[in-house]
Chains A and B, each alone.
Chain A
Amino acid sequence: MTEYSNRSQYPQARADGSLDIDLTSGKYLKLWQGPNHPGITGNMSVELTVCGDEVVEGKTHVGYLHRGFEKLMERRTFIQCFPIVCRICVPEPDFNEYCYAAAVEELAGIEVPEKADWIRTLILEMGRINSYLMYLGGQAGAFGLGVIGQWTTYARDLMLDRFEELTGARIYHMFIMPGGVRDDLPEGFDQRMEETLQEIESTLQDVYDTMFRNAVFKKRAVGLGYVDPAWVDEYGITGPVARGAGVAKDVRRDQPYLVYDRLDFEPVIATESDTYARADVRRRDLLMSVDLIRQILARMPRQGEVMATLPNVLHWKIPRGETYVRGECSRGEYGYYLVTDGSGYPRRVNVRGPSYTHAMTLLEKLIVNVNISNVAGLMVSLHTYPPEIER
């Protein structure tokens, strides 16, 4: 493992422990990476203070995508919130739809038909595959392996075609509604899904050969961004970042929701806890999702309703209460904290995205002493999406 710590003698620590960074000394340079930068994960930025080509301090800046969802939802009825939540996360919007719907159903006491649960699980796994494919392209691209992104984006597009025929939209599906899902699977869906899954598997084999067995990638990813397992609780680390550190933390298994208790799987873990390990966890997790989709299609009931009867949504009121609903998305724990006050509008919705802790405190910790050229790779390895930080 490459030793990154204490490579530079600067900056020196002051007596109180803070860093003695004097911009006028000429030793340091302030460098903004983002928001308009090819090596940034979406529309966000890190304010780097560098000494030579080494980062001595990094501060995450977000808010470029802030639309005030939590405020907007307070003035939308419960059904009107449903189309807006998915916009909180572009690459994997369905988790918002699921968490919101589940929270509303819990507080309103709505029973969801069993088949809807299966279809929801299917959609969440499809979304996970999409998200991971994007990640793989980004992770490879951050280390200069542009071709991986060309392949995975194509594979992801095939999955988007499946999304389109199932949900009627490519990106923002607006399919998981409070009460169930909008519609049943279309005819012949299983067959086309199987073809897509096979294409994805073959793409992944190519990715494995050219990325994971690539000297360049190994050289740069191994040892980069080491996360100590002890930080997992301290920093609220979830998902593949935690699993890459050997902590088998997976909401799907720990607190099974939807139909995960009826599927066979084991959380994927790795112990090296660096960028390479996290990429590998995600690659294997992706393959697991492929398997889960096959299990779902094989086991799900084909008869029955997909939507519960809702009260007239125009005057839908939910009694006072609060709850938290979580799910395991591709980046970690996604959760909705919903407070209702008996009116027709949510009192408060708080969206807890995994990037909130990963891209802020954890990134700022990991980024110290990293070479500038590796900042992008490090950020991607935490798999952050800025809109779920600022909402």
Chain B
Amino acid sequence: MSVRDLLSPFTAWKNLFREPVSIKDPFNRPASERYRGFHKNDSEKCIGCGTCEAICQNGAIDMLPADGVATQPGDSGLRPRIDYGRCCWCALCVDVCMTGSLTMSNEYKWVEADPDKFRFMPGVDKKHWDDYEDGYRRPDGHRLNAPERIDMPELAPAQRIDSFVEMVTGYTVEQAQLEADRCVTCGICVATCPTHMAIPDYIRAIRDGDYERGLKLLYDSNPFSQICGKVCTRRCETTCAASHEGDPIAIRWLKRHITEQVPHERYREIIGAPGPATGRKIAIVGAGPAGMTAAFDLARAGHQVTVYESESHAGGMTRYGIPEYRLPSDTIQREIDLIVSMGVEMHYNTRVGTDISMQQLQQDNDAVILAIGLWMGRSTRIPGSDHANVFKAVDLLRRIRDGEAIEAPKSLVVIGGGNVAMDIARSMARLQKQQHGEIAVTLTALEDKAHFLADPVEIKESIEEQIHILDSRGPQECVIGDQGGLVGLRTWKVLSIFDEQHRFAPSYDENDEQLHKGEWVIEAIGQMSDVSLLGEELTEQLEWNRGRLQVDDDGRTSESWLWAAGDCVKGPDVVTAVATGHKVAASIEAVFAQQEAQT
């Protein structure tokens, strides 16, 4: 202790001459740029997936319907409502938000006498901080879930181009786990799937490693799960929450993974045996996905189901329309065998209308289902399209699939931009490679690249396989040479496809004309049903809608004994066919139950 210790404290007095440090107006002091203040939500961008609710450790977020927000595919119509009696402003909800719609402002003052008022729906209930510039938003690259999909292992273009061996090899267990891990289990995809498969649940089964539960979930809603696992059009993935800021979950490949992990001999046991016989009889025309799905449902319900198929094998377009490299025959056969094992009676090589009449079927059965698909290729009807070397894609695909030896031309042109066009182009490319060692396939489509109807993956793979793809080309003439052989296809540049009333009326730039060389021209611009089997009388009686059978919501035609399902009604794709198959089966069940009740 010294005199210094007594005097030194007085140095504090120097602060008398210092500028005061007090903030003049503490009521209007903005928080920092990154401040995690009150929430904002871009209601347009939000899809109501509820991931914010799932991650909130405080149970502060409720998902509720909001005024002016409609439920539609890809948007649940719910919006988060946040309870500020719970929130801790950790911003995990912002970090995990699948669309980036949820952010925070740097507003932080909220005083209220009524404690029940601290709940609000950001972006729906207007707040004065909605248009604040500053505030926390997820920093670039800061993600709590991996945005990138696990790539599906597949054969390299060079390996696959000369054979019809399946090009995709399937996920390993580790890969599937990682991919399944990306799913946030929101379930928005379920509504988009035509047959409403329990997608989040079977993905969870993969995470849990419980494949048998996964398989049960698959076959509960889709008896074509193995096939869909390979060739589904996967509309579910377009509405996947992960697709907004990253790749959608590979739902199709995960489905495939489940079917690959369960030994085939276990399938029937897991799916369960059919119920006791009811004595009801049902005839199904066509053994494609729609017909076989209906057969599966009805046979499991105990009804006696007979399927009539004009080809030698069941599977319909999955067998005769999709190339082997995408969907191997043995996969189809396993699926069909499984359905048949439920007690379905099959009549192959039996053409209804020729071998047995519809009237006969009506007499012998309680109900008849028409699932005849779309087997007639449409023609462009341009000059020269009746030439012998102008083919329909469906016909060619069927011939290839049937094992017929086809001599591929050195060069060819495909008209069409859908999946069938890609299939035939790639199939022909393989034949060319096998037979000539060279590929010369040109594909012309009306649509521009951004609006191609084909799956983007198909397009990418086609390009890898050296298919020459030209967009916005309108076919004008199949040019026939002096010797009578086909020279190629003449096209004009497309300016627009639809007119102002959104009707199909393409307009062309006639100055931009090209000739695409090809010994063959293959038309892949759509298909229609061959309804000749119905016979004149029935055709007259039934109602039609633009060449397709008119059915009600349940798939029932105007004739009370006749239902229709599959591509001939809706589609075309496998999973829609499965959905309509289920639908008619359920409708028939309902009618039976009604009849039961009446007697």
Is there any pair of Cβ atoms, one from A and one from B, under 8 angstroms apart in the complex? yes
Find chain B residues with CB under 8 A from A311 CB. Answer: 146, 178, 181
Asked if B33 and A210 sit within 8 Å, CB to CB, the answer is no
| Residue on A nearest B178 in the bound complex, by CB | A311
Nearest CB on B from A100, distance (A): 13
Asked if A168 and B35 sit within 8 Å, CB to CB, the answer is yes
A186 and B139 CA atoms in complex are apart in Å by 11
Known A209-B11, A313-B145: A214·B88 in contact at CB below 8 Å: no
Known A76-B57, A84-B57, A312-B146: A209·B88 in contact at CB below 8 Å: no
Which of B90-98, B124-132, B472-480, B520-528 binds A?
B90-98
Find chain A residues with CB under 8 A from B15 CB. Answer: 206
Nearest CB on B from A166, distance (A): 8
Interface residues of A in 211-248 (CB under 8 A from B): 211, 213-216, 218-219
Known A219-B1, A305-B141: A169·B35 in contact at CB below 8 Å: yes
Residue B591, interface by CB 8 Å: no
Known A183-B139, A209-B11, A210-B8: A312·B144 in contact at CB below 8 Å: yes
Q: Number of residue pairs across A and B with beta carbons under 8 Å? A: 109
Known A213-B8, A312-B144, A312-B181: A83·B34 in contact at CB below 8 Å: no
Of the residues A77, A165, A210, A314, contact of B32 by C-beta under 8 Å: A165
Interface residues of A in 301-319 (CB under 8 A from B): 305, 307, 309-315
Asked if B11 and A206 sit within 8 Å, CB to CB, the answer is yes
Interface centre among A80, A206, A210, A315 (most CB of B within 10 A): A315
Residue B6, interface by CB 8 Å: yes
| Residue on B nearest A162 in the bound complex, by CB | B32
Asked if B34 and A79 sit within 8 Å, CB to CB, the answer is no
Q: How many chain B residues touch the partner (CB < 8 A)?
A: 42
Residue B505, interface by CB 8 Å: no
Interface of A is mostly: helix
Render B51-62 as a binary contact track against A, CB cut-off 8 A, 1 for contact: 100110100000
Asked if B51 and A314 sit within 8 Å, CB to CB, the answer is yes
Find chain B residues with CB under 8 A from A183 CB. Answer: 34, 139, 142
Known A215-B5, A313-B145, A314-B145: A184·B139 in contact at CB below 8 Å: yes
Nearest CB on A from B531, distance (A): 50
A370 and B13 CA atoms in complex are apart in Å by 33
Q: How many chain A residues touch the partner (CB < 8 A)?
A: 42
Asked if A79 and B207 sit within 8 Å, CB to CB, the answer is no
Asked if B136 and A168 sit within 8 Å, CB to CB, the answer is yes
Render B1-40 as a binary contact track against A, CB cut-off 8 A, 1 for contact: 1001110110110010000010000000001111110000
Of the residues B5, B51, B139, B178, contact of A213 by C-beta under 8 Å: B5
Residue A31, interface by CB 8 Å: no
Nearest CB on A from B228, distance (A): 24
Find chain B residues with CB under 8 A from A206 CB. Answer: 11-12, 15
Find chain A residues with CB under 8 A from B55 CB. Answer: 79-80, 313-314
A148 and B94 CA atoms in complex are apart in Å by 40
Of the residues B12, B35, B91, contact of A174 by C-beta under 8 Å: B91
Asked if B32 and A214 sit within 8 Å, CB to CB, the answer is no
Residue B81, interface by CB 8 Å: no
Asked if B181 and A164 sit within 8 Å, CB to CB, the answer is no
| Residue on B nearest A76 in the bound complex, by CB | B57
Asked if A309 and B146 sit within 8 Å, CB to CB, the answer is yes
Sampled A-B contacts (20; CB under 8 Å): A79-B55, A83-B57, A83-B90, A84-B57, A154-B21, A164-B35, A168-B34, A169-B89, A183-B139, A183-B142, A206-B15, A210-B8, A213-B8, A214-B9, A215-B5, A215-B6, A307-B142, A312-B144, A312-B183, A312-B184
The 4 closest A-B pairs by CB, nearest first: A83-B90, A80-B57, A213-B8, A168-B34
Other contacts beyond A76-B57, A83-B90, A186-B34: 10, CB < 8 A: A79-B92, A80-B55, A167-B34, A172-B88, A182-B139, A206-B12, A209-B12, A219-B1, A310-B144, A315-B181
